[in-house]
Amino acid sequence: MKHKTTEPLPRLRAHELSSVRGGRTLFEHVSFEVHAGELWQITGANGAGKSTLLRMLAGLMPSSSGRIEFNNQPIQYDRSVYHQQLLFIGHKPAVKAELTALENVYWQRRLSGDKTAQQDSSSDWDLLETIGLLGLEDEVTGRLSAGQQRRVALTRLWHSQAPLWILDEPFTALDVKGIAMLQQRFQTHLGQGGSIVMTSHQALSLASLNPKQRHLGETYANAMGAQS
Ligand SMILES: Nc1ncnc2c1ncn2[C@@H]1O[C@H](COP(=O)(O)OP(=O)(O)OP(=O)(O)O)[C@@H](O)[C@H]1O
């Protein structure tokens, strides 16, 4: 007798989302489902609404219509549970400029929920080495280069236990080595059943990441093009 195979539930479901900002429709009818082990890349022209969509998915702003579910529940159902399951990194590096790189790594660990974290721990030193900042550990983060600050901000990805990562332009300011390092981290996360939704203007070079893509139509960009 044949058994009916049941499709696994999506981890994150976006259904018929739209965004109207400043009287303009940025996008509409946006639907997709993110499963465990999947990476979704949101693409589109400048101003198409990619950051807006990611902020909606993270529950940081409402959609104009449609709904978003995490593990089959509306994300508004229990926001604190959702935020424990989610790691959101926006396009600006969220680091404390006045702390050193090593102090930031420690605080990122604490903020990710690790109550046993110790300052100056060997794991933080190992992480600094992984992200290529050994030798700069005592530098005040605000004096590091944009790419180095980005690396410090991204250490949250190494601390995180969250199954869902939402990342806005994570490759910004990173050099070739930094991009490769980050893609390796993505691969590990996906291999462990994690999910990633991200924006990036560049194609991912690690073929095994095999991203699914959702392109946002250039409603506004088209209108601007039509005028020029
Ligand atoms: N607070 C706001 N009120 C009204 N419109 C806004 C607001 N914030 C952003 N916008 C507009 O929303 C549009 C989409 O912005 P968004 O940052 O989501 O685009 P994006 O696709 O991420 O662009 P980019 O590729 O340049 O990062 C832009 O035209 C922007 O001007």
Look up residue 165 and give its amino acid. Answer: W
Q: 26 CA distance to ligand 1 centroid (A)?
A: 8
- Choice between 165 and 219, residue whose per-residue pLDDT is larger: 165
Query: What is the pTM assigned to this prediction?
Result: 0.90
CA-nearest residue, atom 2 of ligand 1: 21
102-111, 171-180, 215-224: lowest mean pLDDT where?
215-224
Q: 19 CA distance to ligand 1 centroid (A)?
A: 10
Please give the pLDDT value at position 4. 57
At a CB cut-off of 8 Å and minimum separation 6, what does 191 contact?
A: 37
Where are the strands (E) in 2-85, listed by range?
Answer: 12-21, 24-34, 39-43, 65-70, 73-74
- Choice between 133 and 114, residue whose per-residue pLDDT is larger: 133
Q: In ligand 1, which atom is closest to the CA atom of 168?
A: 22
Instruction: Find out whether the beta carbon of 108 lies less than 6 Å from any atom of ligand 1.
Output: no
Give the sign of the dihedral formed by CA 203, CA 204, CA 209, CA 215.
negative
Please give the pLDDT value at position 185. 95
pLDDT tier at 13, thresholds 50, 70, 90: very high
Instruction: Find out whether the beta carbon of 211 lies less than 6 Å from any atom of ligand 1.
Output: no
pLDDT in tens, 174-208: 999 999 999 999 999 999 999 999 999 888 888 88
Instruction: Find out whether the beta carbon of 200 lies less than 6 Å from any atom of ligand 1.
Output: no
- Choice between 159 and 14, residue whose per-residue pLDDT is larger: 14
Q: 66 CA distance to ligand 1 centroid (A)?
A: 19
Please give the pLDDT value at position 181. 93
Q: Among candidates 98, 94, 96, 71, which has minimal Cα distance to 82?
A: 71
What are the DSSP calls for 103-153, one per residue?
Answer: HHHHHHHHHTT-TT--TT-HHHHHHHHHTT-TT-TTSBGGGS-HHHHHHHH
* Domain limits, the chain: 10-85+162-228, 94-161
Structure tokens at 215: 């392109």
Please give the pLDDT value at position 205. 82
Q: 53 CA distance to ligand 1 centroid (A)?
A: 10
Instruction: Find out whether the beta carbon of 48 lies less than 6 Å from any atom of ligand 1.
Output: yes
Chain centroid offset of residue 220 CA: 24
Instruction: Find out whether the beta carbon of 54 lies less than 6 Å from any atom of ligand 1.
Output: no
Class of the domain covering 10-85+162-228? alpha beta
